Structure 1
Amino acid sequence: MKVLGEKIQQARKMHRLSQSALAAGICTQATISKIENKNRCESLDVFSSICSKLELSVFECLEESYEQETERILTVVEKLREQLRAYEAHEILEEYNFKEDKLSYFTKTKFLYYKGSTSLLGKSDFEGAIAYLKQVVRMKNKTNIYHILSMNAIGVSYELQGKYREAAKYNEKAYQMLNDFPDDELPVVASRLFYNLAKYYSSLKDYERSIELCEEGIKLCKRKNTIMGVDVLLYEKAYNEYHLNGAIEGYKLAYYFTDFMNHKVLMETIKKNMKEYNIQL
């Protein structure tokens, strides 16, 4: 297996051990030399004992596979997207050497979705975004959440371009796919899907369906024990409740939660709405 030989060497020197001293009772000095110089160790048990002696975690000393590296980068990208920093997320993916043939089916769909969505929101590159996103929706081995997110993102792209008929086609398809997707398999990232679709139906003045989608998104966050995306879902729910029947309590809840989250961009929108609708805390 591939290991981080340099890290082992640095830890050995920090502990003031020779290769022979590190190997004592575990393996041969040649094995330590191979680890440090060739980044290879053929026994996990041996490597685990070496790491333990150096007070290191095995996992921090194993060389990442390309799949693991890609997943790590996508985790960073996902966090940037949640912070509305799509341009920075796009720049990270632009610099990444994408090797499609070395990724699993799931990670490939995830990568292409983020490449497309950050091209859309970070660069307003509609053509490039749709090209990436359509690659995902054409991959039909097994539908996962990134197929639905990509379908919805294509709808958002057409909506931003004023192509409402095309937007409707993709958003309705995403809504249907979401309804067909097993609830217990929905990951937390699906909260973004509930929000996007809620916004879409709100734009059509279908306030009841928008509220239902927000509630489903909030329920998902509760099941997953996360607050990711709850702020925008609460705001969208409040907006639609006000326009449906004049209810204002949702705005107060959205205000306090957004203040807690320190989501400054959303807070400005909430304050603007509350002033316009004469809602007092």
Structure 2
Amino acid sequence: MDIKKFVDRRKALKLSQMKLCKGICTQATLSKFERNGRVPSLSILNKLCSRMGMTVDELNQDPSSSVTVIRRRLNAIEKDLMMENYLQVQSALKKINEAHITAIPLRMQFFYLRGMLNAVTNKKPDEVLFDFSQILDELDEKHQTIFTQLAYIGSGITYTRINQPARADFFFKKAHEFINEALKTSSDDEEGHDNYLRLLTLIFYTANYYASKSNLSLSDKLLKSGVELCSQNHVTYYLPRLKFLAAQNAVHEKANEDDIRQLLDEALAFARLNHNQVIELRVAALKNGYVSNV
């Protein structure tokens, strides 16, 4: 971060530290930033920069920390997370310096990715919930973005794992309500279009949760919505997982044998198309187990 650029701008505007920080932070906070490089909270830094007519991004020296580069890297990581390539996600996240991420949407995306990875790989609950709290308590305090919903899902997964069903149910109900509203959004809504892959994440994990609670009819309804969303947006990343979960539900519902086999075949076909070896192995295991029981 180019602190000199910040100081030069303040001096060019003939602003004293006291005048710049009035109503935003203490003069001591600003002084520690300018003299010692101690970066204040993102919200404070945003306000200070805004008062001088600049953005936090302008303070970035390193081209590798530019918004475009970081967004591209985080999007690639998010795709790997959807594909359950958890080792690749872990490795890629370790290479990103959190301090270089200053744009609020990208910070939310980073904390979501790290929190969700930790949630699905059974890391310590406090590590998981800390990342989600960054979204819920600081970056999206009004809970208006889809990252809040993703944080709800990750929290629900964690509370399910540590056997706190009431809390898990609280978060998944919130996510389910959001899904119902989001699915009503017209397909030409720009924000909805940008977030359809994240909506699929919400749908899959919520469907998986209700399947685990033996509410298979609700799970199947969500899965059907997920498949339709994939079709509308011509995306196949999530189809292996959606089809496989639908097959699992069908087995538990004692559905027609041909229907179960078709779902498994579709899950396998989409898994191969997307190089999702995890689902390929799960399909093989379920097929073997199912055949041995019929």
Deviations 1:66-115 (A, max 9, x none): 32232122022113213322243234323422248831x32222121112
CA shift at 1:149, angstroms?
1.2
CA contact (8 A) 1:90 1:119 kept: no
Q: Percent identity?
A: 18
- Residue 81 of structure 2 corresponds to which residue in structure 1? 81
Q: Does 1:272 align with 2:285?
A: yes
CA RMSD for the aligned pairs?
Answer: 2.5
Deviations 1:138-177 (A, max 9, x none): 3234622221111101101111222222211111111112
Cα separation, 2, equivalents of 1:145 and 1:212: 21
Q: What does 1:193-272 correspond to in 2, within 5 Å?
A: 193-247=202-256, 248=260, 249-272=262-285
Unaligned runs of 5+ in 1: 1-62
Any idea what SS the aligned residue of 1:246 has? coil
CA contact (8 A) 1:188 1:224 kept: no
- 1:101–1:87 Cα change, 3 Å: closer
Cα separation, 1, equivalents of 2:174 and 2:267: 29
Cα separation, 2, equivalents of 1:243 and 1:118: 28
Cα separation, 1, equivalents of 2:266 and 2:100: 44
Any idea what SS the aligned residue of 2:98 has? coil
Any idea what SS the aligned residue of 1:277 has? helix
- Residue 147 of structure 1 corresponds to which residue in structure 2? 148
- Residue 161 of structure 1 corresponds to which residue in structure 2? 162
TM-score by length of 2: 0.66
Any idea what SS the aligned residue of 1:189 has? helix
Stretch deviating more after TM superposition (198-207 or 219-228): 219-228
**Residues paired across the two proteins, number:** 217
Cα separation, 1, equivalents of 2:197 and 2:110: 17
**Runs of 4+ off more than 4 Å:** none
TM-score by length of 1: 0.69
CA contact (8 A) 1:194 1:217 kept: yes
Any idea what SS the aligned residue of 2:253 has? helix
Unaligned runs of 5+ in 2: 1-62
- Residue 22 of structure 1 corresponds to which residue in structure 2? none
CA shift at 1:261, angstroms?
3.5
Stretch deviating more after TM superposition (229-238 or 111-120): 111-120
Letter in 1 for 2:211: S
Letter in 2 for 1:269: R
CA shift at 1:279, angstroms?
8.2
CA contact (8 A) 1:195 1:217 kept: yes
CA contact (8 A) 1:116 1:129 kept: yes
Cα separation, 1, equivalents of 2:292 and 2:197: 32
- Residue 93 of structure 1 corresponds to which residue in structure 2? 93
Asked which structure has the greater CA Rg, the reply is: 1
CA contact (8 A) 2:64 2:70 kept: no
Letter in 1 for 2:291: N
CA contact (8 A) 2:210 2:216 kept: yes
Cα separation, 1, equivalents of 2:232 and 2:177: 22
Cα separation, 2, equivalents of 1:69 and 1:257: 30
